């Protein structure tokens, strides 16, 4: 317990120190995804969109692990057409010829054979019931101090099962870097 408190205190001091060292020329507008450059007199110079970290799959985020949540898949019974394979065979008469000799001594032999062929297709044969997934299974992790910002707490991310298992194995409020598969939970 004491080790966790010391780690949290050191992290808070580092975050505060890094925040004090920044020049303040790049501010994030709280309600939008735009970065606003502030001039020395306080006027805004330009706006450019910032990429959403939750939708960019290859972007890692970091923060302090807060809570974890597993959302079970929800399914319902549904019906769909039952398709079966129907095959039919058909026969056809095939003519075969061979020739021997040349000129006036040429002889042609002809015979017939029967070849069978099979053709299959999918046809509807009533209905069948199955389990339709209404909501897929989700594994979620909540982070505090997202990206080192003390004001961004309780941000939920959907993660892979292995990341979820790793989050369960770590202590609460431990620094964690993860690659989200989605945002919200």
pLDDT in tens, the chain (185 residues): 566 666 777 676 667 655 555 444 343 333 333 333 334 444 444 433 444 444 444 588 888 888 899 999 999 999 999 999 999 999 999 999 999 988 888 999 999 999 999 999 999 999 999 999 999 999 999 988 888 887 888 889 999 999 899 888 888 888 888 888 888 88
| pTM for the whole structure | 0.44
pLDDT at 127: 95
pLDDT at 29: 38
Rounded to 5°, the CA angle 169-73-139 comes to 25
pLDDT at 172: 85
pLDDT at 6: 66
d(Cα 135, Cα 111) in Å, to the nearest integer? Answer: 66
pLDDT at 48: 39
d(Cα 166, Cα 141) in Å, to the nearest integer? Answer: 10
Class of residue 166 by CB neighbours under 10 A (exposed 0-12, middle 13-18, buried 19+): middle
């Amino acid at each position: 317990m004491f080790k966790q408190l010391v780690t949290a205190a050191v992290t808070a001091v580092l975050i505060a120190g890094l925040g004090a060292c920044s020049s303040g020329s790049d501010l994030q507008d709280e309600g939008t995804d735009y970065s606003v450059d502030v001039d020395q007199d306080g006027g805004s110079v330009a706006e450019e969109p910032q990429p959403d970290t939750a939708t960019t799959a290859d972007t890692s985020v970091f923060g302090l692990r807060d809570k974890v949540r597993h959302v079970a898949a929800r399914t319902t019974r549904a019906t769909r057409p039952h398709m079966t394979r129907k095959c039919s065979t058909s026969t056809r008469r095939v003519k075969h010829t061979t020739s021997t000799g040349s000129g006036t001594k040429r002889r042609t032999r002809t015979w017939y054979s029967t070849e069978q062929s099979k053709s299959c297709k999918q046809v509807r044969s009533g209905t069948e019931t199955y389990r339709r997934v209404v909501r897929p299974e989700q594994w979620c992790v909540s982070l505090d101090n997202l990206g080192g910002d003390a004001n961004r707490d309780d941000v939920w991310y959907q993660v892979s099962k292995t990341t979820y298992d790793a989050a369960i194995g770590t202590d609460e409020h431990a620094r964690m870097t993860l690659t989200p598969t989605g945002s919200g939970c």
